[in-house]
Amino acid sequence: MSSAQRAEGQLVKQKPVAQKEVATISNGDIDLPVSSADLKSSRAEKLNRSAAAQIINGFALLGICVLAFCIRLFSVVKYESVIHEFDPYFNYRVTGFLTREGFYNLWNWFDEHTWYPLGRVIGGTIYPGLMWTAGVLYNVLHLLNIPIHVQEVCVFLAPLFSAFCALSAYLFVKEIRGQGAGLMAAAFTAVVPSYISRSVAGSFDNEGVAIFALIFVFYLYVKTLNTGSLAWATASAMAYLYMVMSWGGYSFIINLLPIHCLACVFTGRLSHRLYVAYAPLIVMGTIGAAMIPVVGFNAVLMSEHFGAFFAFGVLHGALFIRYVKSVLPAKAYQAAKTLVLTGGVAIIGVLLALITGYVMASPTFGWTGRSLSLLDPTYASKYIPIIASVSEHQPPAWPSYFTDIHVLVLLVPAGLAACFRPLSDASLFLILYGVTAVYFSGVMVRLMLVLAPAACCLGGVAAHEFLLALTRAIRAPNLAPSPVTDASVSLLDTAAAPSPAPKSKGKGKSSAAKAEKAKGKGVTAESMFDFLDTSGKGRIPRDVAWIGLVAATLGLIFYIGHCVWVSAEMYSAPSIVLQTRDPQGGVHVFDDFREAYGWLRFNTDPNCKVASWWDYGYQTTAMANRTVLVDNNTWNNTHIATVGRAMASPEKKAWQIYRDLDTEYVLVVFGGFIGYPSDDINKFLWMVRIGGGVFPDIKEKDYLAQGSYRVDDQAPPALLNCLMYKLSYYRFAEASTMVTGRYGFDRVRNTMIGKTDISLQYFEEVFTSEHWMVRIYRVLDRPNRETKLKNPRRAKPPRRSSSSSRPRSASGAPPK
Partner 1 sequence: MRGRATLLACALWLTVTRVQAQKSDVLVILEDQQLKSTHSIFFGHLRQLGYQLDYRSADDKKLQLRDWDSWLYDKVICFAAAVPEFGGAADAQALLEFVDSGRDLLLATDSSASDELRELTAGVGVDLEPQGRAVIDHFSYALQSLTVDHTVVSGQAALAASAVLGGPIEAPVLFRGIGASVAPESELVLKVLTAGSTAISAVPGKPLTEAPTLAGNETTLTAAIQTRNNARVTVCGSIDLFSNEFFRWSPVVVTPGQRVGQSGNRAFATQLAEWTLQDRGRLRVSKVRHVLAGTSETPQRYRIRDQVDFSVDIHEWRKGSWQPFKADDVQLEFVMLHPYLRVNLAHNNKGTFSTRLSVPDVYGVFKFVLNYQRPGYSHLFVSEQAPVRPFKHDEYERFIPAAFPYYASTFSMMGGFFALTLLFLYHKRPLP
- Minimum CB separation of residue 108 from partner 1 in Å reads 4
Q: Which of 85, 67, 57 is nearest to 159 (CA)?
A: 67
The one-character DSSP state at 410 is: H
Q: In this chain, which stretch among 136-144, 274-282, 304-312, 801-809 interacts with partner 1, using CB under 8 A?
A: 801-809
Nearer Cβ to partner 1 (62/118): 118
Q: Is 783 in the site for partner 1 (CB under 8 A)?
A: yes
Which residues within the stretch 618-677 sit at the binding site for partner 1 (CB under 8 A)? 660-662
Nearer Cβ to partner 1 (103/531): 103
Which residues within the stretch 723-782 sit at the binding site for partner 1 (CB under 8 A)? 782
Q: Contacting partner 1 (CB under 8 A), which of 799, 805, 806, 807?
A: 799
Which amino acid appears at position 254 of this protein? I
Which amino acid appears at position 272 of this protein? H
Contact 568, 78 (CB under 8 A): yes
- Minimum CB separation of residue 660 from partner 1 in Å reads 8
Q: Is 706 in the site for partner 1 (CB under 8 A)?
A: no
Q: Is 808 in the site for partner 1 (CB under 8 A)?
A: yes
Q: Is 16 in the site for partner 1 (CB under 8 A)?
A: no
Contact 579, 587 (CB under 8 A): yes
Q: How far is CA 665 from CA 87, 606, 639, 680, 778, in A?
A: 22, 12, 17, 16, 4
Torsional class of 155: left (φ above 0), alpha (ψ -120 to 50), beta (otherwise): alpha
Torsional class of 662: left (φ above 0), alpha (ψ -120 to 50), beta (otherwise): left
The SS3 call for residue 669 is strand
- The contact mask relative to partner 1 for 121-150 (x = CB under 8 A, - = no) is x-x---------------------------
Q: Which of 464, 451, 455 is nearest to 416 (CA)?
A: 455
The one-character DSSP state at 701 is: G
Instruction: Give per-residue burial for 250-259: e unless 16+ CB within 10 Å, then b.
Output: bbbbbbbbbb
Q: Which of 759, 786, 781, 784 is nearest to 659 (CA)?
A: 781
Task: Give dist(CA 771, CA 739) in Å, integer.
Answer: 10
Q: Is 806 in the site for partner 1 (CB under 8 A)?
A: no
Nearer Cβ to partner 1 (330/789): 789
Q: Contacting partner 1 (CB under 8 A), which of 378, 478, 584, 811?
A: 811
Q: Is 296 in the site for partner 1 (CB under 8 A)?
A: no
Q: Which of 41, 16, 26, 11 is nearest to 515 (CA)?
A: 16
Q: 766 φ, ψ to 5°? A: -120, -25
Q: Is 785 in the site for partner 1 (CB under 8 A)?
A: yes
Q: 778 φ, ψ to 5°? A: -100, 135
Nearer Cβ to partner 1 (116/219): 116
- The contact mask relative to partner 1 for 597-616 (x = CB under 8 A, - = no) is --------x-xx--------
- Minimum CB separation of residue 726 from partner 1 in Å reads 25
- Minimum CB separation of residue 705 from partner 1 in Å reads 35
DSSP-H helix ranges across 384-482: 385-388, 398-405, 408-420, 425-443, 448-475
Q: Is 805 in the site for partner 1 (CB under 8 A)?
A: no
The one-character DSSP state at 397 is: P
Task: Give dist(CA 103, CA 93) in Å, integer.
Answer: 14
Task: Give dist(CA 201, CA 71) in Å, integer.
Answer: 9
Nearer Cβ to partner 1 (2/151): 2
Cβ neighbours of residue 214 closer than 8 Å, sequence gap 6 or more = 243, 247, 249, 252, 253, 450, 453
Q: Contacting partner 1 (CB under 8 A), which of 40, 331, 581, 800?
A: 800
Number of residues that bind partner 1 (CB under 8 A): 44
- Minimum CB separation of residue 699 from partner 1 in Å reads 25
- Minimum CB separation of residue 721 from partner 1 in Å reads 22
The SS3 call for residue 140 is helix
Nearer Cβ to partner 1 (109/772): 109
Q: Is 107 in the site for partner 1 (CB under 8 A)?
A: yes
Q: Contacting partner 1 (CB under 8 A), which of 3, 338, 478, 805?
A: 3
Which residues within the stretch 77-106 sit at the binding site for partner 1 (CB under 8 A)? 104
Contact 625, 96 (CB under 8 A): no
Q: Contacting partner 1 (CB under 8 A), which of 86, 89, 90, 116?
A: 116
Q: Is 383 in the site for partner 1 (CB under 8 A)?
A: no
Task: Give dist(CA 4, CA 16) in Å, integer.
Answer: 19
Which amino acid appears at position 263 of this protein? A
Q: How many CB atoms sit inside 10 A of residue 60's CB?
A: 15
- Minimum CB separation of residue 798 from partner 1 in Å reads 4
Contact 121, 112 (CB under 8 A): no
Q: In this chain, which stretch among 12-20, 648-656, 693-701, 797-805 interacts with partner 1, using CB under 8 A?
A: 797-805
Q: Is 306 in the site for partner 1 (CB under 8 A)?
A: no
Q: Is 584 in the site for partner 1 (CB under 8 A)?
A: no
Q: Is 793 in the site for partner 1 (CB under 8 A)?
A: yes
Q: Is 309 in the site for partner 1 (CB under 8 A)?
A: no
- Minimum CB separation of residue 176 from partner 1 in Å reads 34
Nearer Cβ to partner 1 (717/812): 812
- Minimum CB separation of residue 605 from partner 1 in Å reads 5
Cis check: omega of the bond before 422, within 30 degrees of 0: yes
Q: Contacting partner 1 (CB under 8 A), which of 58, 63, 119, 536?
A: 119
Task: Give dist(CA 169, CA 185) in Å, integer.
Answer: 6
Nearer Cβ to partner 1 (331/806): 806
- Minimum CB separation of residue 780 from partner 1 in Å reads 12
Nearer Cβ to partner 1 (145/791): 791
Task: Give dist(CA 681, CA 711) in Å, integer.
Answer: 9
Q: In this chain, which stretch among 17-25, 60-68, 188-196, 806-814 interacts with partner 1, using CB under 8 A?
A: 806-814
Q: Is 789 in the site for partner 1 (CB under 8 A)?
A: yes
Nearer Cβ to partner 1 (291/341): 291
Report which secondary-structure segment, H or E, holds 314: helix 306-327
Nearer Cβ to partner 1 (251/621): 621
Task: Give dist(CA 610, CA 816) in Å, integer.
Answer: 60
Q: Is 786 in the site for partner 1 (CB under 8 A)?
A: yes
Task: Give dist(CA 54, CA 31) in Å, integer.
Answer: 13
Q: Contacting partner 1 (CB under 8 A), which of 108, 139, 342, 656?
A: 108
Cβ neighbours of residue 235 closer than 8 Å, sequence gap 6 or more = 220, 224
Burial of 321 (0-12, 13-18, 19+ CB in 10 A): middle
Q: In this chain, which stretch among 276-284, 468-476, 485-493, 792-800 interacts with partner 1, using CB under 8 A?
A: 792-800
Give the alpha-carbon dihedral of 797, 801, 802, 803, to 10 degrees. -130
Alpha-carbon 437 to chain mean position: 11
Q: Which of 174, 186, 257, 265 is nearest to 221 (CA)?
A: 257
Q: Contacting partner 1 (CB under 8 A), which of 40, 581, 790, 806?
A: 790
Q: Is 582 in the site for partner 1 (CB under 8 A)?
A: no
Nearer Cβ to partner 1 (478/802): 802
Nearer Cβ to partner 1 (2/504): 2
Q: Is 802 in the site for partner 1 (CB under 8 A)?
A: yes
Contact 723, 650 (CB under 8 A): yes
Q: Contacting partner 1 (CB under 8 A), which of 584, 784, 805, 807?
A: 784
Nearer Cβ to partner 1 (759/801): 801
Q: Is 413 in the site for partner 1 (CB under 8 A)?
A: no
Interaction site with partner 1 (CB under 8 A): 3, 104, 107-108, 110, 112, 116-119, 121, 123, 605, 607-608, 660-662, 782-787, 789-802, 808, 811-812, 814-816
